[in-house]
Structure 1
Amino acid sequence: MSSSATSDDILHDFTPLLRHYKDGRIERLMGGAAVPPSLDPTTGVQSKDVQISPDLPISARLYLPKTAAAQATKVPLLFYFHGGGFLIESAFSSVYQKHLNLLTSAANVVAVSVEYRLAPENPLPAAFDDAWTAVNWAASDAADDWIKRHGDFGRVYLGGDSAGGNIAHNIALRFGRGNPAGMNLVGMFLNCPFFSGKDPIGDERSDTGVLGKIFTDKMWFYACPGLTGLDEAWVNPSADLKVLSGLKCGRVLVYTAGKDYLKDRGRQYTAAVAESGWGGEIEAVEVEEEGHVFSVLDPDGENSQKMFARVASFINRP
């Protein structure tokens, strides 16, 4: 009997997210189907796709609210990063198309939803590097006309859910090491951010099931084979308050969900930012009856609508 791997032999099993077979094949089990950009009939938001890098497969879907499109007005510029554990999902999926249409309309922003490269084909920090490339592209002469005409570089925001919240946090730290030309990062909002740490906290101590701590700890090392430990600051921001104090924005909004095992990390992050010596203002909202990234999975729900309104108020506050 041959000992060679067959097409059905699994090397890494991250069901229900992904299976990695010994023959090298990657099977993604979750994620919305890709849809084209469009003019959304409900919100009036327009979208289009742009290529960001001529050398790497980095692109984005841009969103333009109908108010800005009609009046050529300047509105806040939002860079958004989708979730999926760094392994699945896309800025072009039906799930994120609807989410960004609603968010763009509510907050009246020009949104740049970044299509970053996924692990394991592109191990971390590829996703962070791609996000930073997208920010710098938007500040360059190569940027799309929607950004140049309608994006207010004096009012720049970052946002993301789950792994995208982690990306937004780490991009805010990169802003602290040097702003792209003309950009003023005002704030960021993190929706059920994907952070971890070596030692379990809160409900993590008893949560060992699918998508619990044991499962996601393995995901971290799978997505980043060079990771030395879960207390590295980009995985566990609370482990190094000195690094955390370098956030380059004045306002942070953190959403957590009561039925999400990541809620304790969101709470820990909020407390650590407040204690770090960072001089800004942080707000925390926990929606007790909801689960992980509820506003993405059920954007029409009552709590999701409230969240869109809260984020809109956060972004447009003087």
Structure 2
Amino acid sequence: MESATSDIAIDGSPLLLVYKDGRVERLLGTQIVPPGLDPKTNVESKDVVYSQETGQSSRLYIPKNVSSAQKLPLLVYFHGGGFCVETAFSPTYHNYLNPLVAEANIVVVSVDYRRAPEHPIPAAYDDSWVALKWVASHYGGNGPEEWLNCYVDFDKVYLSGDSAGANIAHHIAVKIGNEKLDGVKLEGIILAHPYFWGKEPVGDEIKDPVVRAKIEGLWRLVSPTTSGSDDPWMNPIDNQSFASLGCTRVLVCVAENDILRHRGWYYCEKLKKSEWGGEVEMMEAQGEDHVFHLFKPTCESSVAKLKKVAAFMNQDKALN
């Protein structure tokens, strides 16, 4: 009798396992928590379907004492997880976004998208674009969701995400620049530990062929038709898309011990030299690893990052 491990077709640990019969076992991000009033921050949340076609939902957040008399900036957030694990409804993201909403005094739409390998790339990008179009349908106060109609300033829209979600945020911002989206004025994007890669190392990026092959292997798992690590979805930095970035401000956050750190710096350098012409800010957390702020939300570095992100979205207030 064969052992259970011999039934594994693809070992994508520590994220997931794919078995020969097609079954997918996710090893991370499988918990979910319900929306509602968070007693620590007094932030309220609820889940709303944004696509009847796929049944996908978003989790919406509004801060304490929100009033339709004062429209608030909107953050559209895309969760991370290598395009294959985690959801917008996991405690990881729920516990991150509640304090951010309270600190920044913003409205958040946290997008849940279909995940690979059941729904390979570009499903995550397609769903994220559909979610943003659904958000835009509320411009003018005539959309299906009351919170967006009443409380959002559509002249102050931001996109953000961590890891794979930061990758999505970049590509959606480029799509806005190329195609425009009536009802949404994209002010800026916030990329936390962005999941970009490439065939050739940049700077002091790790050169170990085994490690690089594993990273490419994960990408091939979620994008079976890919051309490899230089696929523009994974390596957008060299495909001349920067000039189309549909915002005027970018904040990139990296962590000193993160294997993706060098890509974040490379992204910033290339963006500054491009024809885009906007403002780029960089924040590096010393001694920290990939998405540390999600797993250690109360540590000094996480609190500093939270405050930086909140300030980035309220820059005009600081100038007044």
- Report TM bin, short chain: over 0.9
Aligned residues: 312
Measured after TM superposition, the shift of residue 32 of structure 1 is 5.1
Q: Does the 8 Å CA contact 1:7/1:23 hold for their aligned counterparts?
A: no
Give the aligned partner of residue 226 of structure 1: 225
Superposition map of 1:79-228 within 5 A: 79-140=76-137, 141-207=142-208, 212-228=211-227
Secondary structure of the structure 2 residue equivalent to 1:31:
coil
Q: CA 1:251/1:17 → structure 2, altered by over 3 Å: closer, same or farther?
A: same
Q: Match for 2:10 among 9, 12, 25? A: 12
Q: CA deviation at 1:84?
A: 0.2
- Flag the 1:37–1:173 CA change in 2: closer, same or farther, 3 A: same
User: Structure 2: how far apart are the matches of 1:310 and 1:147?
Assistant: 25
Deviation at 1:248, TM superposition (A): 0.5
Separation (CA, whole Å) in 2 of partners of 1:61 and 1:176: 25
Is residue 51–residue 60 contact of structure 1 (8 Å, CA) maintained in 2?
A: yes
1:252 to 240, 250, 253: 250
Distance 1:227 1:142 in 2: 37
Change in 2 beyond 3 A, CA 1:19/1:72: farther
1:8 is displaced (CA, Å) by: 5.2
Counterparts of 1:15-34 in structure 2, within 5 Å, are 15-31=13-29, 33-34=31-32
Take 2:204 and 2:31, find their aligned partners in 1: how far apart are those partners? 33
Equivalent of residue 70 in structure 2, options 50, 61, 73: 73
In the alignment, is residue 308 of structure 1 matched against residue 309 of structure 2?
Answer: no
Summarize deviations over 1:195-235 as a string: whole Å, max 9, x none.
000112344434567xx432221111111111113223221
1:222-270 Cα distance to aligned partner (Å, 9 max, x none): 1111111322322112212x21211010000000000100001101111
Q: Distance in 1 between matches of 2:204 and 2:115?
A: 28
Counterpart Cα distance in 1 of 2:230 and 2:52: 35
Shift of residue 299 of structure 1? 1.1
Deviations 1:62-87 (A, max 9, x none): 0001132x565210011000000001
TM-score, length-scaled by structure 2: 0.93
2:208 and 2:89 map into 1 onto residues whose CA distance is 32
Query: Is residue 206–residue 259 contact of structure 2 (8 Å, CA) maintained in 1?
Result: no
> 1:300 Cα shift?
1.3
What is the deviation of 1:7?
Answer: 8.5
Which residue does the alignment assign to 1:270? 268
The question of whether the paired residues in 2 share the 8 Å contact of 1:203 and 1:261 is answered with no
Q: Which residue of 2 aligns with 1:53?
A: 51
CA distance in 2, matches of 1:8, 1:57: 35
Who is 1:282 aligned against?
Answer: 280
Post-superposition offset of 1:143: 3.9
Structure 1 stretches lacking a partner, 5+ long: none
Deviation at 1:275, TM superposition (A): 1.0
Distance 2:284 2:29 in 1: 25
Following superposition, the deviation at residue 57 of structure 1 comes to: 2.8
Instruction: Describe the superposition over 1:87-120 as per-residue Cα deviations: whole angstroms up to 9, x where unpaired.
Output: 1000000111000101111111110000000000
Q: Percent identity between the aligned chains?
A: 46
TM-score by length of 1: 0.93
Further displaced range: 225-234 or 83-92: 225-234
SS at match of 1:205: coil
